[in-house]
Structure formats: structure tokens, C-alpha cells
A and B are shown apart, each in its own frame.
Chain A
């Protein structure tokens, strides 16, 4: 499968624990995006990278959240001191820029904080 892959697909954690998700984009894609989606809502933008540079962060990305893309390939999203409100689907997408190309999304990581 040469699409966007995310790991793990599901994560259950206790409140206050730290969690880290990984995203592997399509190999030649230089842009990588993170989104969060809660039940019944459309995906909400969190942040994006152009190669290894983090170019934009949403105000939704509190200081407990950090994302990295150290070599411009895979990315990680870490949530520290998880709260029940962090329970959501975390989606990763990648695209090729510049150019009028679409973003390809992974299947997401579903986080449940108990």
C-alpha cells in the first residue's frame, strides 16, 4: 500500500498519560497535515509541514500538543497529559506542493482517553 499510513489505528489511554502517533506520508509528498475530528464534525486543521518546517499551527493546538517532522518524511504528533476532551480521531494527510494536487488522507488514529 503506497498511501498515507498512520499508526496506531486505535489508542486507549488513561487521563494524564502521554501519547504519540505516527504518520507516514506518500513518499514524494513534501506537505504533511494533521487534523482532529470529533464525532459528527468535519475534520479540524491542527498543523502542517512543508518538508521539515512546521509552517502553520492552529489555535486548537494547545501547548500540550507537539508535532515534528524531523527529516521531512514521517511525522509524529504527541499529546502530553491527555485529557478526556482529547478523545477524537487524529487524521494525517499529505500532498505535493507547489501544484494543484489533492491531499491524500490516512485512515486516522482513534484516541480514547478514559
Chain B
């Protein structure tokens, strides 16, 4: 079963930052926070992952709280193509990916 909790859905205005929260209060020391997203009718796509430091790549930024019990995925300038279901996953580097229901993000023009 998924170990993280996320809001069911969120809206974001096009061009604004989308901030997607995730709670992972049971995360252990060797577990990472991974984010994937799934655009309608496509396979999931990896976005970013981190252990305890904040991470940034060309797609997004990941902010992890100091106690590691929660994190926020930030899409700095959301576009309509960012409309998708976003999954937050806690797992070790060798575990399989277990998906929860995720957050359905709608980017609104």
C-alpha cells in the first residue's frame, strides 16, 4: 500500500507556480521521496527525487522539510501541458514503485 498522503485534486492558474504537497510521516532514513506524473492515457513519467536536500531539475523543484515528514513539488511556471496526476512515493533505492491515488492537478487558462 502507498505510504504517502496527498490532496485528491488541485487547481493552478496557467503561468503561476504549482505547489503540490505530500505527507510521508513514516519515512525511514534510507527512503527517498520520488515524484512521478501521469498525463491522461500515457505511462507515468519520472519527475524528480530527493533524500533530504532540496533538489531542482529542468522540470521541477523538490522541497523536503528538515524532519523529512513532508515535501512539496514545485512546478515554477505551470502550463496546460502540466495537467496530470502527480504521485508522491517514498521508497528505498531498490524498492519497486508503489503508487497511491495521487493528486490530480488541473492547470487553468
Which A residues contact B (CB, under 8 angstroms)?
4, 33, 35, 41-45, 48, 56, 91, 93, 97-108
For B, the interface residue count at a CB cutoff of 8 angstroms equals 21
Q: Which of B42, B87, B99 contacts A107 (CB 8 A)?
A: B42
C-beta contact mask, B69-106 vs A, less than 8 Å → 1, else 0?
A: 00000000000000001010000011011111110000
Could you tell me the distance between the alpha carbons of A102 and B94 in the complex, rounded to whole angstroms? Answer: 10
Which B residues contact A (CB, under 8 angstroms)?
2, 32, 34, 38, 42-46, 49, 85, 87, 93-94, 96-102
B101 near A42 with CB under 8 A, answer yes
Q: Which of A4, A41, A48, A98 contacts B96 (CB 8 A)?
A: A48
Contact flag A42-B43 (CB < 8 Å), given A100-B32, A100-B93: no
List residues of chain A with CB within 8 A of the CB of B93.
98-101
Could you tell me the distance between the alpha carbons of A42 and B101 in the complex, rounded to whole angstroms? Answer: 5
List residues of chain B with CB within 8 A of the CB of A43.
38, 44, 99
Pick 19 A–B contacts, CB within 8 A, sort by A: A33-B97, A42-B85, A42-B87, A42-B99, A42-B101, A44-B99, A56-B96, A91-B43, A93-B43, A98-B93, A98-B94, A99-B93, A102-B46, A102-B49, A103-B46, A103-B96, A104-B46, A105-B43, A105-B45
Could you tell me the distance between the alpha carbons of A97 and B32 in the complex, rounded to whole angstroms? Answer: 15
List residues of chain B with CB within 8 A of the CB of A48.
96
Chain A residue with Cβ nearest B104: A40
Looking at A35, A56, A102, which has the most chain B CB atoms within 10 Å of its CB? Answer: A102
